[in-house]
């Protein structure tokens, strides 16, 4: 009888574990659909801009330079409170406490955002001088970018609320509307407005010397539209701060905030160092080529983001006790396999992906595999970060991200003067490798998780062999190259299906 009870318990536990992972996969798919739709529309702008005559490598480089600053600004203004919200909203006892938490964190972010924007307006001249003047485009771009950062920071909490409540429909509608507004306005500014101006209509609005400035104007209008669309989430909101609650959440979030600054700096410092270390004549053009290559490589980043939308509330709010270890181990394995598949798909079909960007920018195609690898490792690091967030040992975030920042800074300083943007790409890989290794070692010491390293290694080795083998084959026929690319990718997919016994399951379902 005892054995029967134990067996029943184990079956029940495994079923719950399976359902939890299935829920995470389902939520990832849901957010993935949102992210894919948004990014697909947004990515249309990359070929549009890189094929557009007004967007030279230098102009695109200026745009990439400012866009690299936006994530850092958002990290500074949100102060890690988004993650703190997911951690503490699950502990709230009732709706009143949850509302108080939302009001407190939103008010804190709104206050810092307002102060940030005011200081930017006050010191625009000094900031422009720091950015090396004309090299960074028009001065008006600085307050426009600051306004985007401020608005996006304020709406981060309403979006977090939607994610916690599982309101994916509204989340999707607002995200899609945001990018559509951005797209339509950008096309209007660069394709319609010049034609209208030639006919004497709205001539005062069109200025070809404004360069990439219209991109940021469109972005700001789209962000303001999102703020209006999120007014329902602000229902019952009041500018009140519970000091004790804010202190508790901020103490938890502070290490994540500091680590987030270092982590975000890891993502943008390469473009800043390209800007300052390379000669004025080539700096912005190299950033433009580098940024265009990053757009192709960002398909893995896209997958990581859609996974993060589901995984963050799942691991921080829903998973309790020892279940976390098993679920996190499984999540890391399957996330890595999916990322390797994306890596192979893009690298094997690079002859087609290169047309995603204009011909002037294709010299950067050679660094796409490095950027894909760095994005893959960044996703692995995301999975390896949940152990210290769940255990509230968030101070380790500082150690890990600062180590990465030191690595990327040193390697960039050494390689950029010699290799330009190629050195920047290598620095991203080195940075992620250091952080992944450090996070894993610390995790095994303070919260030992039995990751399936053997299984992950098998898929990694297969992907590497397929990638190297394909690049060793010298074929001129495009048709033959396509066939071989498809064959190699199919080998990886078939191995996964056989190893996971998916083919057998499919056959059994067909029979039934």
Assessment of whether the complete model's pTM goes beyond 0.85: no
Residues with Cβ within 8 Å of residue 124, at least 6 apart in sequence: 139, 142, 143
pLDDT of residue 28: 53
pLDDT of residue 316: 66
Q: How far apart are the first and last CA of the chain?
A: 34
Q: Where are the alpha helices (DSSP H) in 349-384?
A: 350-353, 368-383
Residues with Cβ within 8 Å of residue 445, at least 6 apart in sequence: none
Sequential DSSP letters for 380-419? HHHHTTHHHHHTT-THHHHHHHHHHHHHHHHHHHHHHHHH
Distance of alpha carbon 309 from alpha carbon 483, whole angstroms: 36
pLDDT of residue 380: 92
- Residue 87: how many other CB atoms lie within 10 Å: 21
- What is the separation of C-alpha 81 from the centre of its chain, rounded to a whole number of angstroms? 18
Smallest CA-to-CA distance from 275 within 131, 169, 381 is with 131
- What are the tokens at 185? 């306005």
Distance of alpha carbon 249 from alpha carbon 285, whole angstroms: 43
pLDDT digits (tens, 9 = 90+) for 164-201: 887 777 888 888 899 889 989 999 999 899 999 888 88
The residue written with tokens 């894909």 in the block is 372
pLDDT digits (tens, 9 = 90+) for 53-82: 778 888 888 888 888 888 889 888 988 888
pLDDT of residue 36: 60
- What are the tokens at 158? 């309403």
Distances (CA, A) of 207 to 191, 443, 445: 13, 54, 59
Smallest CA-to-CA distance from 470 within 483, 455, 457 is with 483
pLDDT of residue 18: 45
pLDDT of residue 454: 92
For 220, list phi and psi in degrees, rounded to 5: -65, -45
**Helices H, strands E: what count in the chain?**
22, 0
- What is the separation of C-alpha 328 from the centre of its chain, rounded to a whole number of angstroms? 20
Walking along the chain (512 residues) 10 residues at a time, the average pLDDT comes out as 38 44 53 61 75 79 84 87 80 80 90 94 88 69 94 91 80 87 91 89 86 91 93 80 86 79 78 84 85 86 78 65 79 91 93 86 91 93 85 81 90 93 94 93 89 92 93 84 92 87 63 59
pLDDT digits (tens, 9 = 90+) for 141-161: 999 999 999 999 999 999 888
Q: Where are the alpha helices (DSSP H) in 239-354?
A: 243-277, 283-313, 323-348, 350-353
pLDDT of residue 112: 93
pLDDT of residue 17: 44
């Amino acid at each position: 009888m005892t054995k029967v009870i134990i067996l029943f318990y184990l079956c029940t536990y495994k079923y719950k574990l399976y359902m939890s992972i299935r829920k995470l996969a389902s939520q990832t798919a849901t957010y993935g659909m949102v992210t894919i739709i948004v990014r697909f529309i947004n990515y249309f702008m990359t070929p549009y801009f890189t094929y557009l005559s007004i967007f030279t490598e230098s102009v695109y480089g200026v745009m990439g330079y400012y866009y690299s600053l936006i994530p850092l600004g958002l990290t500074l203004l949100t102060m890690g409170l988004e993650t703190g919200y997911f951690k503490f909203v699950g502990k709230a006892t009732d709706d009143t406490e949850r509302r108080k938490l939302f009001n407190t964190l939103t008010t804190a972010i709104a206050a810092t955002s307002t102060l940030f924007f005011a200081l930017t307006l006050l010191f625009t001249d000094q900031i422009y001088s720091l950015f090396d003047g004309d090299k960074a485009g028009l001065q008006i771009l600085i307050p426009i970018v600051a306004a985007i950062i401020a608005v996006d920071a304020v709406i981060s909490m309403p979006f977090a609320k939607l994610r916690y409540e599982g309101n994916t429909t509204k989340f999707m509608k607002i995200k899609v509307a945001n990018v559509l507004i951005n797209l339509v306005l950008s096309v209007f500014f660069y394709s319609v407005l010049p034609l209208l101006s030639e006919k004497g209509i709205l001539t005062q609005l069109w200025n070809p010397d404004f360069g990439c400035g219209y991109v940021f104007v469109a972005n700001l209008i789209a962000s303001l539209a999102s703020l209006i669309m999120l007014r329902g989430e602000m229902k019952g909101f009041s500018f009140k701060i519970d000091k004790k609650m804010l202190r508790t959440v901020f103490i938890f979030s502070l290490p994540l905030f500091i680590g987030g600054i270092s982590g975000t700096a890891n993502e943008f410092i390469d473009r800043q160092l390209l800007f300052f270390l390379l000669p004025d004549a080539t700096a912005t053009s190299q950033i433009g080529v580098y940024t265009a290559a990053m757009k192709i490589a960002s398909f893995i980043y896209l997958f990581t983001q859609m996974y993060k939308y589901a995984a963050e509330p799942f691991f921080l709010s829903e998973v309790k006790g020892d279940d976390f270890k098993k679920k996190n181990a499984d999540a890391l394995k399957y996330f890595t396999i999916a990322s390797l598949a994306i890596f192979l798909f893009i690298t094997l079909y690079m002859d087609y992906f290169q047309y995603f960007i204009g011909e002037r920018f294709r010299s950067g195609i050679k660094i796409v595999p490095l950027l894909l690898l760095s994005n893959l490792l960044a996703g692995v690091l995301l999975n390896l970060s949940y152990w210290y967030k769940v255990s509230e040992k968030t101070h380790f975030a500082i150690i890990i991200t600062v180590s990465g920042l030191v690595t990327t800074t040193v390697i960039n300083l050494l390689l950029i003067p010699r290799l330009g943007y190629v050195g920047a790409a290598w620095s991203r890989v080195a940075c992620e490798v250091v952080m992944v290794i450090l996070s894993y070692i610390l995790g095994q010491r303070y919260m030992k998780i039995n990751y399936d390293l053997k299984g992950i290694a098998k898929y990694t080795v297969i992907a590497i062999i397929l990638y190297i083998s394909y690049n060793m084959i010298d074929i001129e026929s495009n048709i033959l190259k396509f066939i071989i690319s498809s064959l190699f990718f199919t080998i990886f997919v078939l191995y996964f299906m056989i190893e996971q016994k998916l083919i057998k399951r499919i056959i059994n379902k067909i029979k039934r």
